[in-house]
Structure 1
Amino acid sequence: MRSSAAGRLRRLRWLLTVLFTALNAAGLLVLAWLFVAQDREQGELRLDAELKRVTAAVLRLVQSNGDGTVVTAFVGQDQIDTSCPEFAVLPAGAGEFEPHFSRRDCAQVDRGVLYGLARQAADSGKFVEGYVPSTGDGLVRVVAQPFLSSAGQYAGAIVAASDPAAELARHERVLWTVIGGCVLLVGALAVAGHLLSGRAIRPAVAALEQQEVLLAETAHDLRTPVAALRALAETAWRNPTDRPDLLPRTVRLAARMGSIIDDLLVRARLAAGVEVLAVQPIWLDQLVTSVVEETPTDGAQVTVTTAPTKVNADPGLVQRAVGNLLDNAIRYGRQPGSPAIVHITVAGGRVTVADHGPGIDAAVAEESFDRFTSGSGSSGLGLSIVRWTAQAHGGFLRVYNAEHGGAIFELAFPPVP
């Protein structure tokens, strides 16, 4: 079964929500990745700054004789030799001297790796920075700073090493915080996208729903007259002698169908806001009496009790609403095998239509005003038109059951003072 246009628009709303969320989430993830990468870089810069502070301090303690010999004796006499980060003064390049390792073991790193870093720094004449594998689990952050002998040649390098566990743990906390924040923001974006897309397509959904209701109401209200018109035409075709009697009935039925179509189109234009109500002072009691006189009763007993009542309303719409209530009571306000008994009261701006039928289920009474089915199994569009007419005039429609059986419909309009 094909879905309605309004249903497809609702699915479009979900598609717009997904697209909105996906695009914003993609941008958010890019920003999050940049932030995390920047945080990691800043953490490494802090580690390197501390290591370079150590290498610079040790470099001031390293001495070089006139013959180019490097002396590290003063390094062991300074308190930096027992502090963290740990370091090593290692020969490389053109230098030959006794290597010196600090006495504090702060990071588990293989000495062969330190010698390799020293040679790399001396060969390049530049700082060497990065992570190297630890002898245990994890990584070690290292910085190697080359230094010159008195002969002007690179004689070795000072290699400082630090355990980055604390910094990596901090960075991991930042990472999980960013992930959690992204999840919350994506959820918020999804909700915001759903609300925005709903607001964007709401006018289109409302217009399509009104169109579908109009089509359904037109089909409902024209079904019976069309069937009756066809029956009259077939009877006239089979019985030429009855045509003079059938022709006036056919004309009246066609006029009724035209009136139904006009009323439905007026409601559609009013609901769409392209036409306003033709409000004018009317005598509600006279209008109701006229509707009763013009409505075929099909054997039903219809009585009317009125008091002079004046309201400001659109007479065409009110006439149709009262006709729908009367037609509903005549059709369903009867006991099996008995004619309908309907009593109409008009007073104080209210029209009360009471019948002697089985009544109406209160649980579905409200749905009868809005949906396409009523408690009696018939179309509820007639009652929905009555309710819409009441609300358009600032009134209301209520339904309840009488104490001794039967349903009572109360249509109210603001009375003229």
Structure 2
Amino acid sequence: MNRSASPARRGLARLRWRLTAAYTAIIVIGLAALSFLLLRTDARSGRAVEYEEMRRRAAVAASLIYYQDGQLMLDGLQDDEATTGNPQVTVLLRQTGTAERYRPVFTSRQGRFTVTPARLADAADAALAQDDTGTAEGTDTTGRPVHLLATPFYQDGTERQAGAVVVVGDPGRGSAEHHRLAVALAAGCAVFTALGAAAGHALSGRSVRPAWQALDQQERLLADAAHELRTPVAVLRGAVDLVEGAPAALPEHLPRLRRASDRMAEVIENLLVRGRLQAGVDGPRRVPVRLDQLVEAVCEELPPGPHRLGLDLDPVVAEVDPALVRLAVRNLLDNAVRHGGTPAGGPAEVEVRVAGPVVTVADRGPGLGPAGPAAVFTRFHSPGGGTGIGLSLVRWVAHAHGGEVTAGARDGGGAVFTLRLERRPARRWRVRGRAAAPRRGALTDSS
């Protein structure tokens, strides 16, 4: 079966990538929104800091302006730190009776911007009109954007408005730090987006893992059913065709039809049990069981045939699921009877032993084959050419009980299978204070 071409698997793969894309999109949108808010807040903070510095300089400059004998005195502005450099300070004296509204009487040294007198006058007019500090946005003579802040100053004694102090600020001040913050945010968002995408891909994989497992179990069950039922169905169909052509031969073909139907019933039971175990629908229900009696009962249920069956059963109680263990032991016996014939063509010679929580089934057949012990419990592999699902189910039953099943070569030829159901010592069964005696001998000799 080409699993890569399965529509269901392609759909799950697309679902995983869609979940990854959804996780990544959510992270990108969240980081972008957070970065936008941070950059906007930083820009506003930088603008607020610049205006605060402009207000400080305007207040200091206004406080240093005074009048002496009616004359405006500006000597206090010459060497003060608040009136040097940027933001730059310009003092405009109000004019009356002239075409010019204001006359610049002081400008900061080392100023960076050159603003037209008309723009400065407009800012001064706005401040004097509202008799308070005012702000505005504008450009200098080269077109660069600037911040403008104007505050009025007054003539001593009369408290009349004499002019305005206009401060020119730089909107790009702190832009280098703002740019570095933007670069750091972009790099951080890229890293977190990559990590988030990887984490989202991993989480989406975990999210769809149950669906993958269920799909895998379904495909395995379908493959097992198709593989296992093909042979008995073919046998039934062939026998029906023969009987249809010769109705009188029906009694001759009835044993063949019965064997095929029994095989189909066994296959269906194995498939159902294995499917329930794999899906976790029904786990083992452990109860104390006389393991030797259970194995003996399974041996008695074997159909008659050309085989010899020897028993060596020690009385033992094990906490197991009787139905699952019965199925596992029956599969081991069926495998030994079916493939345990001697190389010379003689009947199968099978020996069954129970010692503690361990069931051993040995035969004198051709052995495990070139694939070795590890392959015999794999689906669709059997040392004698069968389907192999029965032995793989034995392994599932062993693992469900916390035990194991192993296969090896038997001394003198043949194979030996060991089913261990418990790792702790089993309890001895006692009847009226005495240990039950072990049973040994031949249960079936149909040769």
TM range (shorter): 0.7 to 0.9
The 8 Å contact of residues 87 and 158 in structure 1, kept in 2 or not, is answered as yes
Matches within 5 A, 1:284-295: 285-286=295-296, 289-290=299-300, 293-294=302-303
Task: Assess, with a 3 A threshold, how the Cα gap between structure 1 residues 77 and 17 changes in structure 2: closer, same or farther.
Answer: closer
Matches within 5 A, 1:158-307: 158-162=166-170, 164=172, 167-277=174-284, 279=286, 281=289, 282-283=291-292, 285-286=295-296, 289-290=299-300, 293-294=302-303, 306-307=312-313
Task: Assess, with a 3 A threshold, how the Cα gap between structure 1 residues 255 and 343 changes in structure 2: closer, same or farther.
Answer: closer
Pick one of 398, 418, 430 that aligns with 1:390: 398
Name the Cα RMSD after superposition. Answer: 4.4
2:121 is matched with 119
2:149 is matched with 144
Q: Measure, in 1, the Cα distance between the counterparts of 2:51 and 2:340.
A: 92
The 8 Å contact of residues 92 and 119 in structure 1, kept in 2 or not, is answered as no
Displacement of 1:324 after TM fit? 4.2
Deviations 1:110-134 (A, max 9, x none): x2x2535413312433633558579
1:108 is matched with 112
Task: Assess, with a 3 A threshold, how the Cα gap between structure 1 residues 42 and 379 changes in structure 2: closer, same or farther.
Answer: farther
The 8 Å contact of residues 353 and 361 in structure 2, kept in 1 or not, is answered as yes
2:441 is matched with none
1:359 is matched with 370
2:15 is matched with 12
Query: Percent identity between the aligned chains?
Result: 32
Task: Assess, with a 3 A threshold, how the Cα gap between structure 1 residues 395 and 62 changes in structure 2: closer, same or farther.
Answer: same
Task: Assess, with a 3 A threshold, how the Cα gap between structure 1 residues 98 and 271 changes in structure 2: closer, same or farther.
Answer: closer
2:47 is matched with 44
Pick one of 16, 19, 35 that aligns with 1:32: 35
Q: Once structures 1 and 2 are overlaid, which stretch shifts more, 324-333 or 259-268?
A: 324-333
Please state if 1:75 is matched with 2:77.
yes
The 8 Å contact of residues 142 and 160 in structure 1, kept in 2 or not, is answered as yes
The 8 Å contact of residues 324 and 397 in structure 2, kept in 1 or not, is answered as yes
The 8 Å contact of residues 367 and 409 in structure 2, kept in 1 or not, is answered as no
Task: Assess, with a 3 A threshold, how the Cα gap between structure 1 residues 182 and 92 changes in structure 2: closer, same or farther.
Answer: farther
The 8 Å contact of residues 362 and 410 in structure 2, kept in 1 or not, is answered as no
Matched positions, count: 402
Could you say which structure has the larger radius of gyration? 2
Displacement of 1:234 after TM fit? 1.7
The 8 Å contact of residues 89 and 108 in structure 2, kept in 1 or not, is answered as yes
Deviations 1:175-217 (A, max 9, x none): 2332233234334433443454444444444333333322222
Q: Measure, in 2, the Cα distance between the counterparts of 1:11 and 1:371.
A: 30
The 8 Å contact of residues 91 and 99 in structure 1, kept in 2 or not, is answered as yes
The 8 Å contact of residues 333 and 357 in structure 1, kept in 2 or not, is answered as no
Displacement of 1:34 after TM fit? 0.7
Q: Once structures 1 and 2 are overlaid, which stretch shifts more, 42-51 or 346-355?
A: 346-355
Q: Measure, in 1, the Cα distance between the counterparts of 2:384 and 2:117.
A: 96
Task: Assess, with a 3 A threshold, how the Cα gap between structure 1 residues 82 and 269 changes in structure 2: closer, same or farther.
Answer: closer
The 8 Å contact of residues 145 and 170 in structure 2, kept in 1 or not, is answered as yes
1:97 is matched with 103
Deviations 1:6-53 (A, max 9, x none): 553344233222212212321231122111110121122112211221
Q: Measure, in 2, the Cα distance between the counterparts of 1:86 and 1:11.
A: 63
Task: Assess, with a 3 A threshold, how the Cα gap between structure 1 residues 259 and 142 changes in structure 2: closer, same or farther.
Answer: same
Displacement of 1:393 after TM fit? 2.2
Q: Measure, in 2, the Cα distance between the counterparts of 1:336 and 1:108.
A: 107
